[in-house]
Amino acid sequence: RWVRQHRTGGSSVLLLLLPLLWPCRVRPAGADNASQAYYTALINVTVLSPERGGPTLLRIDRGRYGQDSPKVEVKGLLVAPVPINGVADRLGCDPRTRFQVPPNTKQWIALLQRGNCTFREKILRAASHNATAVVIYNNISSEEPVTMTHQGTGDIVAVMITESKVKEILNYLEKNISVLMAIAVGSRVPPKNFSRGSLVFVSISFIVLMIISSAWLIFYFIQKIRYTSARDRNQRRLGDAAKKAIGKLTTRTVKKGDKETDPDFDHCAVCIESYKQNDVVRILPCKHVFHKACVDPWLSEHCTCPMCKLNILKALGIVPNVPCTDNVAFDMERLTRGQPASRRSALGDFANDSSLSLEPLRTSGMSQLPQDGELTPRSGEINIAVTKEWFIIASFGLLSALTLCYMIIKATASLNANE
C-alpha cells in the first residue's frame, strides 16, 4: 500500500511539472516584447556615386520600428558620426559625438551602431543635432533586429536594422559619397502567444508546486521513520521472544554411556565436532541435538534449527505461521498491519508481556494468515520505494532549473531591448 502511494505521489508531481515546461521555452536573445505587436520597416538605399555613372539602389532587409517611434515614412541623407580624435565613432554614445551634415540639408538620417549605451541615449543625441530619423544597426551580423524601447524621445523616427550591407554603406560614407535612405512603413506583425502574466504564472505555479512537494516529502519521510521504528521495535520483540524460547528448550549434560558419545552419532552441525562427556547440549523440538554454546547464538539470530530449519517460535506456539528469518521484522509489520485488532493483539502482545507463555497460541482464524511467500515484498516494489525520494529531489531540481531559465531569458531580453 505504501509503495502505491509512492507511485501515485511521483506521478502527481510529474503532472504538475508538465504545464510549467511550455512557458519556459528558450527564446533568442533580444526577442523581448514578443507579446506586443510591432511594425516592420521597408528600407531602400540609393548611392549617388559619380564613379558608377548614376544612382545605385541597394536594398536592405526589413527592419523594425521602435516601440515608441512614430510609424511614418521618412526620407533623407544618411549621415554617420565623424571620428573623434582620429578614432571612428560608430556608437554615438560619446557626448562629443558630432555629425557632419552638408549645408541646406533639410532632412537627414543618423546611422548608429548598437551597444555601449541605451537606445534612448543614442536617439536623443542624434535628435539634439536635428536629425529627422535614427537608424540603428545590430552589432552582430547573425542577430535579428529587436523592437527597441525608447520612451521620451519625442517625434523622431527610430528604426533598427540588421548589419547586412551596412559595411558597404559605411565605405561609401567614408569616401564622402552621398547616400540617400527611404524608410517606408511595412506590415504589422501581431503579438505572439506570450503574455506578461506568464512570468507571474510560472512563479505562482513554482511556489504552489514547492509547497505541495514539500508537504509530500515531509509526509514521506515521516512515514519512513515510522516504518523504520516499527521494524526495529518488532526486531527487538522477536529477539526477546527468541531468548525466552531458548530458555524453555531442553538442555542436559552428556554423561558416559549416552548415545551422543557413540562415534556413529551425528556431530554438532554448528561446530562439526563430536559430543564428549560433560558437554552441555540443547535439544530442539525437532529432536536435533547441538552444543548449547554453539546453537544458542544461532537461535538468537535465526530462531530456526540449523539442520531442518524448523521455526522454534512456531513449534512452541509463540507466533504460528510466521517465517523466522532475517526479514521477519518486515513480515511481522505487514502481517499485523493487515489483521483485525483482535488478531494483531494476539500476534504482538506476546513481546510486551514480561511473563511470556510458551503454550500454543489458540487464536481463531490463524490458519488464514498469509503464507511465507506472501509476506516477502517483491524486489520491484522495494526498488520503487527506495528511489522515490530521489525522484522527488530530481523533480525539484528540474523545476528550479526551468524556472531559473525562464527568468534569466526574460531579464536578458529586457536588457537587450534597452541597449
Q: Residue ranges of the domains in the chain? A: 38-189
Question: Average pLDDT of the chain?
Answer: 73
For residue range 210-226, what is the model confidence (pLDDT) as tens digits? 788 788 878 888 988 99
Q: Are the C-beta atoms of residues 27 and 34 closer than 8 Å to each other?
A: yes
Q: Mean per-residue pLDDT for 293-311?
A: 87
Write down the CATH number for the domain with range 38-189: 3.50.30.30
Q: How far apart are CA 164 and CA 145, in angstroms?
A: 11
Q: Find where cell 526498488 sits.
A: 383
Q: β-strand 54-65 against 157-161: which pairing, if any?
A: antiparallel
> Does the CA dihedral 297-299-301-304 come out positive or negative?
positive
Residues 6+ apart with CB under 8 A from 275: 254, 258, 260, 261, 265, 267, 268, 281, 289, 291
Q: Hey, what's the cell of 81?
A: 558620426
Rounded percentage of the chain residues whose pLDDT exceeds 70: 67
pLDDT score of 347: 37
- pLDDT tens digits for 92-130? 898 889 898 888 888 999 999 998 899 999 999 999 999
188-195's contacts with Cβ under 8 Å and 24+ in sequence apart are 188/37, 188/38, 188/39, 189/37, 189/38, 189/39, 189/40, 190/37, 191/34, 191/35, 191/36, 191/37, 192/34, 192/35, 194/34, 194/35, 195/35
State yes or no: pLDDT of 14 exceeds 50.
no
**What are phi and psi for residue 57, nearest 5 degrees?**
-95, 125
Supply 98's cell numbers: 558630432
Whole-number pLDDT of residue 358: 34
Query: C-alpha cell of 5?
Result: 502511494
Nearest to 409 by CA among 198, 206, 248: 198
Rounded Cα gap, residues 405 and 248, in angstroms: 69
Question: DSSP assignment, residue 53?
Answer: T
pLDDT band at 52, cuts 50/70/90? low
User: Per-residue pLDDT for 380 more than 70?
Assistant: no
